[in-house]
Amino acid sequence: MSNSFSRRQFLASAGLAALGAASLADRSRAGEVRAPVIHQVRLADGVVIEADGGVCGSFAGSSAQDRQALERHLPAIRKLLVGRNAFDMTLEGETLWEAIFPARARLYAQGRDPLTGEKIANKPRGDRQTATGRVFMAFSTVDIALWDLRGKLVGKPAYKIIGQADRKQVPVYWRPGEPNKGLDDARRRAREAYDQGFHYQKWYFTRSAADGDAGMKQDVELVRVLREELGPDAKLMFDNHSIRYHADVDYSVRLCKAVAPYKPFWIEEPICPEHLDGYARIKGETGVTIAGGEHWYTRWPVKGFLDRRCVDYVQSDPVWCGGISEWLRICRIVEGYPGVKVVPHITSPWIAAPHCVASQAGSLCPLLEYNVEGGRKALENNMIRSAGGSMVMEMPAAPGIA
């Protein structure tokens, strides 16, 4: 029996480990293999984790993360990781926050903030991210750096070891942002993108309850114009991001009813993120397809929305929700709800979400978001037109998360 690390043995077990099966660490403890050991964790441009042979995994993380939390908890993070098997799948975001804030994350399931204890259910946020959320974003960065390290150690792109789907291409939807130059410009941009192969498009609503009936009319007109221009075959999504600070359920119900005749592919975040009752009422009264979850931290808030049958696409972002490992846990939860799919929100650093989508079956993760506003430099060279004419992203071949 060889005592050296085997790429074949890891690749056969890593994806399964992420799904909850026995990790390579179990096999190394049994004397079957000897896996690389983590020697150092440091902060540079994000988190850097070094293993045997000087191989380093790194990830910058979201600009919104709590960098001070990483610095504050770095001694505890080092204590948990240094000297451990780099392929121990129990080393993940949850390992870190449970050691530092034991049993706190699950308070999200009760509609409470894990670090303050404050009731947050059915209430709007004062800002896009919460102070507690920024801490969990910091743990996400550590987790994703671990996955980058593992990919580099075996010389494989991360998606090949995160899961077993091994999709070389993933369909994308185009996100151009706000129609801030008027409807004629939006119509032109939508047509140009559609003709290039972006048959799935997501546009932003720019008005909210604070803008009253006149604002709602503008949003509905955007839907009408784009549907008129692109016809019934276009998959048109609309992001209600202007409402994320509001809790006016009546307004959201009226808006969703008004756009329903134009058959949107989905309405995203129809009300502020923790408003479970609002989501349930909007879904129940309008029947529109609803996407949400980019602003949920960890897996703990997810099940309540699924149990109420009020979200059709879960958009948990691996860079925000606790890392790739936590994102995988969310996928396993979603699999228990037939018809619900996972389409992660994508944010800078842009490349984590593609690896997540490509690692899972298309029946669970059918689409990847392409944020043309910010992700062009990182992703544009990977965009190609499929044989069917729709735009897809070709996955990178470089090891790790690149």
Burial of residue 67, with CB atoms counted within 10 A of its CB: 0-12 exposed, 13-18 middle, 19 or more buried: middle
Amino acid at 78: R
**Active-site residue (options: 199, 295, 345, 355):** 345
Q: 372, 17, 362: which is closest to 167 by C-alpha?
A: 362
Q: Which residues contact 349 (CB under 8 A, 6 or more apart)?
A: 59, 60, 61, 62, 319, 378
345 is catalytic: yes
Q: Report d(CA 14, CA 24) in Å as an integer.
A: 7
Contact present, 86 and 183 (Cβ < 8 Å): no
Torsion of CA 179, 169, 146, 345, to 10 degrees: 20
| DSSP string computed for 183-221 | HHHHHHHHHHHHHHT--EEEEE----GGGHHHHHHHHHH
Positive or negative, the CA dihedral 387, 363, 276, 63 is negative
Positive or negative, the CA dihedral 196, 198, 199, 205 is negative
Q: 292, 305, 223: which is closest to 264 by C-alpha?
A: 223
- 249-259 and 276-286 are packed helices; what angle lies between their axes, rounded to 10 degrees? 30
Positive or negative, the CA dihedral 281, 282, 287, 291 is negative
State CA 137 to chain mean position distance.
Answer: 12
State CA 54 to chain mean position distance.
Answer: 30
| Catalytic sites, residue numbers | 345
